[in-house]
Chains A and B, each alone.
Chain A
Amino acid sequence: MSKYIVSVIQNIGHRVIESIWRLGVGSRFFLLVLLKSGTSLRRFNLVIRELYFTGVLSLIIIVVSGLFVGMVLGLQGYETLQKYGSESAVGTLVALSLVRELGPVVAALLFASRAGSAITAEIGLMKATEQLAAMGLMAVDPVARVVAPRFWAGVISMPLLAAIFSVMGVLGGYLVTVVFIGVDQGTYWSQMQSAVDFRFDILNGFIKSCFFGVAIAAIAVFEGYDAPPTAEGVSGATTRTVVTSSLAILGLDFILTAFMFRGVS
């Protein structure tokens, strides 16, 4: 029995040490990617190419999800607000929830599972099929040529996708409350306009999504580059990208929210 307990404790210890070690290796890799980003900036068409794969191909899921989240917000918000006779505030509710929280967070979660996992799988497979080694032997640095452009494409797409998500959500809310339920259209927009602050709400939401973009892209490229060069290795790395970046998004969101909105009204 005591042997069992000891082995459990040992196991936990191993895992903790392992994760901290990985965090260290990951951070070093992150710095390496930043250092080797010169090529991506000089040859920006490399990044643009990846923007298509990470950003443009994620558009559909972002647009559709944004629309539905906005519709649900409108519906739920209207149900509750109308009890207090303040259904005119539904536009404000939809917009603030989206711009401050749901836009950046949900878009980031979707982005991590759609684009983050794809980046990991692609880099991992390139490693497993010796493409990265071949590139190194051609005197081309794979971190500069393959990893950095994908990282920057992820960083750039994330805030744009979050913004698109919020816009679609606001339209979804409009569709449900104004078009279907019949809230006054002028009220919906004017309440929203007066309540949403550019600096506090929109800018803060934008900053959040930038942080999420860096976190997802860094995790995705690291997991791919670090994946054991086998089929199981790559599939494990893909899963880890989704799990780790989802946790990172939620953790970061809490920290950022605490800093940004503490003491606001």
Chain B
Amino acid sequence: MSSENLIEINDLNFSYSTRAILKGIHMTMPRGKVISIMGGSGSGKTTLLRLISGEIRPSAGYVKFSGDVVHELSRDKLFKLRRKMGMLFQFGALFTDLSVFDNVAFQMREHTDLPESMIRDLVLMKLDAVGLRGAHHLMPNELSGGMARRVALARSIALDPSLIMYDEPFTGLDPISLSVIGNLIRRLTDTLGMTSIVVTHDVQKSLKIVDYVYFIADGVIAAEGTPKEVMESTAPFVHQFIHGEEDGPVPFHYSGQSYRQDLDLGDTRV
């Protein structure tokens, strides 16, 4: 059973000093699927990705990556494991001092002894997969936001990882680039047999390309299901999130003292 699931997360807890961010998360991520994690800003989505990559340690529970408990690995083993993970940062995080070509070649040069001629072929192949073979000689500051993110995508698949994590890949893109990235995520997952985790706010776009959705709220999984189930869900939280309603289970008002008090109308509590 665990050979089918690339990632199993069991009762995962995490807090920053005393503030509990995640309080008992359970997830399973089968190989070859695109899984989406949704939730409001600050709900702990990025934190969850950092737990999966072993950057931070859980206070209880565990993340298993193809059978290994991530936080129990030695440093060497963890570094080995990270070669099987790709991560796409929100704004790409391309190395600004390297060209597009060298960015994609970076991991091949650091982690393999491949001859330069083969690296060249591989890099051009990866760039071709994201449609940017012609841009290999450009520097990152010469790219548009959407292009930079596609190069970052090519870079993250450089060593054919078994998992790619996308942290808000759609933020700040125009509708066309957004579609391009969305379709690329789906296509690369299918053709390269990877597993993808997409953290996003963009409900409409992501529901079209993902296989399964988890909603995080208040540190727990508030809802989960296939896109179809989610769309048809009548659970108030999911409904509010999908349809972008202002008020519902997630309150519009940040809790604080009453409006009357703020307006100095005496301290009668409402």
Contacts and interface: CB of A to CB of B under 8 A. Distances in A.
B89 A139 contact: no
B154 interface: no
Contacts of B121: none
Contact of B89 (A122, A126, A134): A134
Contacts of B111: 139-140
Contacts of B94: 131
B151 interface: no
Given A137-B55, A137-B87, A140-B110, A131 B80 contact: no
A145 B89 CA distance: 20
Contacts of B237: none
Contacts of B93: 129-131, 133-134
Given A136-B55, A138-B110, A129 B91 contact: yes
B53 interface: yes
Interface residues of B, number: 20
Contacts of A135: 95
Contact of A139 (B80, B91, B97): B80
Interface in A124-182: 125-126, 129-131, 133-140, 145
B257 interface: no
A264 to B, nearest CB: 45
B5 interface: no
B35 interface: no
Contact of A129 (B55, B79, B85, B96): B96
A63 B62 CA distance: 60
Interface centre among A126, A131, A134, A145 (most CB of B within 10 A): A134
A140 B107 contact: yes
Contacts of A137: 53, 55, 82, 85, 87
Contacts of B82: 137-139
A232 B90 CA distance: 21
Contacts of B110: 138-140, 145
A110 B107 CA distance: 36
Nearest to B98: A131
Given A138-B110, A139-B82, A139-B111, A125 B55 contact: no
B91 A125 contact: no
Interface centre among A135, A139, A140, A145 (most CB of B within 10 A): A139
B87 A134 contact: yes
Interface of A: 122, 125-126, 129-131, 133-140, 145
24 contacts: A122-B97, A126-B95, A129-B93, A129-B96, A130-B91, A130-B93, A131-B96, A133-B89, A133-B93, A134-B87, A136-B55, A137-B55, A137-B82, A137-B85, A137-B87, A138-B82, A138-B110, A139-B79, A139-B80, A139-B110, A139-B111, A140-B107, A140-B111, A145-B110
Interface of B: 53, 55, 79-80, 82-83, 85, 87, 89-91, 93-97, 106-107, 110-111
Among all A-B residue pairs, the 7 with the closest Cβ atoms: A134-B93, A130-B93, A139-B79, A139-B82, A137-B87, A130-B89, A140-B110
